[in-house]
Structure 1
Amino acid sequence: MSGIFTMSRSREALQLLEAAEAHDIPIFNSPKSILENTRTKISKLFDKEDIPAPKCCAITCTSLPSLSYPFWIKRGDTCAQDAADVCFVASETEYTKALHQYEERNVTDLLAVEHLEGDLVKFYGVEGTDFFFSYYPTLGKQFSKFGLEEINGQPRLFPFDASALKQEADRAARLTGFVIYGGDCVISADGSFKIIDFNDWPSFSLCRELAARAIVERIIDSYGK
């Protein structure tokens, strides 16, 4: 049986892969899932399915979000590909400036996302396997995509249940179709967590060999079903 293993992200490539997927060719991750599950859709899905996540609302041109400063502005039509796709705003002046910058880039699908105080944790996983890896990106010189992790500062290492985080992350993977996934969460002082970002094909920067084995295991397992 044929299958496709891909890390493509461009819309053109995903549309070609989606056509192949329509002919029952298994593809990891599903291009249909990647195209359909924008940040805006994922935020609504998480809210509907009670995945722990921050408060979030769509931004309109006529009103301010019903969130207290500071909060984040994130483009809702895709995951962040550029540093300008995510913006931290602490005042109405910064909010207005950020909106103008998005407007200049013709980005109109925007979300206001609650800022959470606590320890920022990055995680990687492969749904359907035992593999799950998490770490504190601001503890030492770790991988940083845009440097925004510094907003939450040095972690205080609040205890949390990593197995519960994996359980919720795997559930998010099944809901979105992102079998191979990564994300970010914030751990509060009481040990509770909220997933602030969830996406397909993270870097697996600190655990590539372990992740590779889990990905192969998941792909092989899919052919036995």
Structure 2
Amino acid sequence: MSELKILGVHRNKKFSPNHIGNDGAIFSLTAAALEQLGCEVSICCEDEFLAVSEVKQHHIFTMARQKEVVKKLQELESSGTVIVNSAFGIENCFRINMHNALLARQVPVPHSFIVNTDDFSDTVFDELNGKGFWIKRGDFHAIHKEDVTFAGSVAEGKEILKEYALRDIPDALISQHLVGDLVKFYGVRGTDFFFWFYPYDHNHHKYADYENINGKSLHFAFDADELKRVAGSSAAAVGVDIYGGDAIVGRDGSFHIIDLNDWPSFAPCREEAAGHIARVIYQRFTQPIK
């Protein structure tokens, strides 16, 4: 029996802010695990993938995020190529798409507003309770530190939105600042694998100075099984199998999902996660969707 020929498209470095090595490591471990399952794996970067006129493989696993690559993957997927994560799911993880999908699934998220960066009303800030706001670019993931920025005042928030407009970022998500513990999680749909931890306790965060805003972890008690359920529901809402994200846990144990990503680094648990990721990919490639 011939080997299953599959293509892996790994993430360009600019889409891995402060996590280039970690993203590369989980991708390499997953490729190795797929080879152990009997797959013949070819690897390319996003730019190489765009340059290919004809993609011969009909099974692709990818961490890609470049919009042109996602569009090409979607065209292949619509024509019958099996892709994990789904290219449509990847697009659903763009900030505003993700927020709307989670709202539709009734996932607990911070009170937020979507605004046009060059045409917004100051009153939007009045609708958000708390000390300060988080302003996040709406059209994509965070590439630069400024793509997710804390504003301590309305004046500061207005300046951030003006800067987004100058960078040709058309819209933004403005969210209330929630007080509580930041919890990071990783999961693989279709498996029992789920891992969560306090990133500030382990110096694990893209931008370390966020700890000065969020505060040190106080380890408020919460239902980890419920977080696992809600995280899985969030991944299903956007349509990805390999996912991770962040939640804020309040003093009363309630939590809100503040971010959800397609195929993050799994850095603190990648050795264990890679096998689960590979098996789910292999299952998607070899078992017909019912």
> TM range, normalised to the smaller chain?
over 0.9
**2: distance between equivalents of 1:99 and 1:158?**
33
Q: CA RMSD in A?
A: 1.6
- Counterparts of 1:77 and 1:174, CA distance in 2: 21
Q: Which residue of 1 aligns with 2:86?
A: 30
Matched, 1:197 2:259: yes
Higher Cα Rg, which structure? 2
1:13 aligns with 2:76: no
Which secondary structure state, in structure 2, belongs to the residue aligned with residue 84 of structure 1? helix
TM-score w.r.t. length of structure 2:
0.73
Cα deviation for residue 143 of structure 1 reads 2.0
CA contact (8 A) 2:62 2:83 kept: yes
**Counterpart for residue 63 of structure 1:** 121
Residue correspondence of structure 1 range 1-225 to structure 2 within 5 A: 2-60=58-116, 61-64=119-122, 65=124, 66-68=127-129, 69-140=131-202, 142-150=203-211, 151-222=213-284, 223-225=286-288
Note if contact 2:92-2:101 (Cα within 8 Å) is conserved in structure 1: no
- By how many angstroms is 1:36 displaced? 4.2
- The structure whose residues are more often helix, as a share, is 2
Using a 3 Å threshold, how does the CA distance of structure 1 residues 83 and 157 change in structure 2: closer, same or farther? same
Q: Could you tell me which runs of 5 or more consecutive residues in structure 1 were left unpaired when the two chains were aligned.
A: none
CA contact (8 A) 2:93 2:261 kept: no
Contact 2:188 2:277 in 1 (8 A): yes
Alpha-carbon distance between aligned partners in 2 of 1:36 and 1:188, rounded to the nearest angstrom: 27
Give the distance between the partners of 2:133 and 2:86, measured in 1 at CA. 31
Q: Aligned partners of 1:143, 1:9: CA distance in 2, in Å? A: 22
Structure 2 residue ranges without an equivalent (≥5): 5-57
CA drift of 1:76 comes to 0.9
Using the alignment, how far apart are the partners of 1:4 and 1:52 within structure 2?
32
The 1:171/1:95 distance shift into structure 2, 3 A limit, reads same
Helix, strand or coil at the partner of 1:80: coil
Q: One-letter code of the match for 2:247? A: C
- More deviation, 59-68/188-197: 59-68
Count of residues in correspondence between the two structures: 224
Q: Sequence identity, in percent? A: 42
